[in-house]
Chains A and B, each alone.
Chain A
C-alpha cells in the first residue's frame, strides 16, 4: 500500500497527464479547449474509427454537436473508446465529460449509478439475428428454444434476454462476452445460433460479418431501449447544455434548417427560425445557457440537423439503411419531440 501511494502521489505531483477539475464541467471544458467524450469501441453507424482513425457515427456526431455549441468547431472533441464495463466509471470519475455510447436510459442508471440522461438520441429495442442459411425455417425468436445465444456482458441486453426466455419458458445457453468485437467474432465463427443486442446494433454488426446476406434479423423486439447521452449528476449547467444541444438538433430538423441552408435561414422572415438561430434582437437564449447566441448555427454548421446526422450514419446514406421509424419527428409519426426553444 505504501508504494501504491508513493506512485499515486508521485504521478499526481508530477501532474503527469492528470487533469484537475475545479468548478463546473463547462468551465473545465472551456479551459482545456475540448470536450472529452466517451464512445463505443466499435459499433458501425454509432461510433467506429474509420481507416484513418477518425471517429464517425451517430453517437460521435452528437459529441461533435456539443463541441460545436461550445467552441463553434465540431472537431474540438476527443474520444475515449469505452467498453460496456468501464463506461460508467469513466463518467463518474471525470475521465469523460459526456458519455455518448449507445447507453440505455434506465431508472437504476439514472439513480443508483448517478447519471443524468439528456435525452434519447435513438429509440431502439432488443432483437435477435440468426444465420438464415444455416438455420432455414427460423423466423421467430420463439423458435429459439435450446439455442446458444451470443450476448455482451454487463448490458441491459443480457438481463432482457434472461427475462424473455424465462417469460416464454424457453431453454437457452447464453454465451457471454465482454466486448462487442469478441461477441461478433464468436457469432461469425458459428459458436452461437443467435446474436442478441439492440436492433440497430444488429444491423451494424451484420455489416461486419463475413457473409452479411446470410443473416436475418428476427421481427421480435423484446425490450424498450432508449439510447441517449448522459452526464454526471450534480452539474445542472452542463446537463442543460447537453440536453439543449439535443433539442436544438431536433428543432433544426423540424424547422428545415440544414447544414447547407443555415446561413440563408438567418435571413428568414419566420420569427421562430430567427429566435432559434439567435438573430432575433436582444435575445438571451444562448447566453443564458452559458454559450453564444448563435449556438444553434454553430451546431448545425458542424454536424447538420438530427435528420442529417441520422441519414448520414445509420439511415439511407449509410450501409446500415435503417428506416426512421420511431426515430422520425413527432410530426411524422415518430417519437422525436423537442421542447420549444423560446
Chain B
C-alpha cells in the first residue's frame, strides 16, 4: 500500500454537513407532514380549526367545569334549574358517578358481602397477569388454574351458600361484575365449543359436518339479541314443566352459544392455514385423530389465530351490553337504570354516565386489542422474512 502524496487527494475526513434547512428541523417536518401541497395545507388548517373548536369544549366539559363532589342533583344544576352553577353552565357531573360507583361495580350485591367480589377480582387478576406475560413460568399450571379451578372458586365465592357464606342470588348482581362474569364464562365456554364446532365443520363425517355448518351459519346469521331472546323466552318452554333457569344462566347460555359460532370460524381459519403436510406427517406417525389434532394441528392452528380469538373476545365483551335488552343490568344497564334516579335527574347526568361507561369499556377493549397486536408481532417473527 502506497501513501497518497498527491495534493488533490484529501487525507482527512470532511465533517458531515448539517442537512439543508429545507430537509431538517421543525420547519421541514411541518412542511413535509402538514403543508406538503396546497390541499394538504387546507386540510391541516381545517383540521386545526376543528380541533381548536372541539378540544377546549371537551376538556372544559370533562375537567375544568365539571362538578366533582355533591350529594344529590342540586350540585349539578344551574341557578335557573335550582342549583348553584351560573346559567349556561355545562360540565360533567362526576359527583353522580362517585355517588353511584359501588352500584356501577357490584350492582345490588349486598354491601357487607362485597369483599367476596373484590377477592374474586384479585384472584382473577393474580391468575390472569402471569398468563399474559410471555416470560412468566408455569404456563400450563397457570392455565389449568385459570380455566379449570378458578371458575369453581369464583362460583363458590360469588354465589355463596356454602361454608358459612350467605347465599347471594344472581338477581342482585349487576354492573361491571355481571359484564365480567358474562365475558369470562363466554370465553371459557366458547373456546372449547368453538374448537369442537370447527373440527366438526372440517370433519369427513357428513352428518357431523352438516350439523356443525347449520349451527354455525344459523347463529352467525341472526343478531345476538335474537339469540338472547330465544334463551330468555324459549328455554323455559323447552325445559320440562317446572324446571326454571336463572336469568343470568340464560344470558350466559345465549352469549356462550353465540360466541362459540364466531370462535368456530376463527379456529377454522387457523386449521385451513396448516399445510397438508402436517396432517400427513401426523398420519404417517400413526397418530389417531384426537392425538393428531391435540398434539400437532391445534397447537399450530391456535397460535396462528390468537389475534382472531382476542378480537372475538373483544366483540363478545362489547356484546355483553345487549343483556340490557333482556332486562339484566350489566355495566351499561346499571348506568342506564341510575340515569332514571330522580335524585340525580339533571341535564348532565345522562352524558356523564354514558361517558363513564364508555370509558370503562374502552379501557378494557383497547388494552385487549393492544395485547393482541403485541402477541401478533411476537408470534409473527418466525414467519416474516
Instruction: Give the interface of A toward B (CB within 8 A).
Output: 1-4, 7-8, 11-12, 16-22, 41-42, 49, 53, 78-83, 86, 89-90, 92-95, 178-179, 181, 184-185, 188-189, 207-211
B249 touches A17 (CB 8 A): yes
Q: Are B236 and A208 touching (Cβ within 8 A)?
A: no
Could you tell me if B342 and A21 are in contact, using CB atoms closer than 8 angstroms? no
Q: How far is the CA of A195 from the CA of B346 in the complex (A)?
A: 19
Q: Is B239 in contact with chain A by the CB < 8 A criterion?
A: yes
| B interface majority secondary structure | helix
**B345 contacts A188, CB within 8 Å?**
yes
A184 to B256 alpha-carbon distance, docked (Å): 33
Q: Is the CB of B337 within 8 A of A208?
A: no
Q: A3 CA to B211 CA in the complex, in Å?
A: 10
Chain A residues whose C-beta falls within 8 Å of the C-beta of B245 in the assembled complex? 11, 17-18
Please determine whether A185 and B340 come into contact, CB atoms closer than 8 angstroms. yes
Complex Cα distance, B170 from A94, in Å, reads 17
In chain B, positions 89-137 with a C-beta closer than 8 Å to chain A are 108, 110
One digit per residue, 1 when the CB lies within 8 angstroms of any chain A CB and 0 when it does not, for chain B 221-255 equals 00000000000110111110111111111000100
A94 touches B242 (CB 8 A): yes
> A8-B253, A49-B108 are contacts. A92–B236 as well, Cβ < 8 Å?
yes
Q: Does B7 contact A (CB under 8 A)?
A: no
Q: Which of A19, A78, A93, A210 gathers most chain B CB within 10 Å?
A: A93
Q: Tell me if A185 and B257 are in contact (CB < 8 A).
A: no
Q: Is B327 in the interface zone, CB < 8 Å from A?
A: yes
Question: Chain B 150-182 against A: per-residue CB contact (8 Å), 1 yes, 0 no?
Answer: 000000000100000000011110000000000
B253 touches A7 (CB 8 A): yes
Q: Do A20 and B236 touch across chains, with their CB atoms under 8 A apart?
A: no
How many Å from the CB of B208 to the closest CB on chain A?
Answer: 9
Contact pattern, B 344-357, Cβ under 8 Å of A = 1, otherwise 0: 01110010000000
B361 at the interface (CB under 8 A from A): no
Question: Which residue on B lies nearest to A22, using beta carbons?
Answer: B242
B260 at the interface (CB under 8 A from A): yes
Q: Is B197 an interface residue (CB 8 A)?
A: yes
> Which of A53, A86, A208 sits near B327, CB closer than 8 Å?
A86
Cβ < 8 Å to A, chain B residues 327-385: 327, 336-337, 339-342, 345-347, 350
Q: How far is the CA of A82 from the CA of B326 in the complex (A)?
A: 9
Interface centre among B171, B237, B245 (most CB of A within 10 A): B245
Contact B232 A8 (CB under 8 A): no
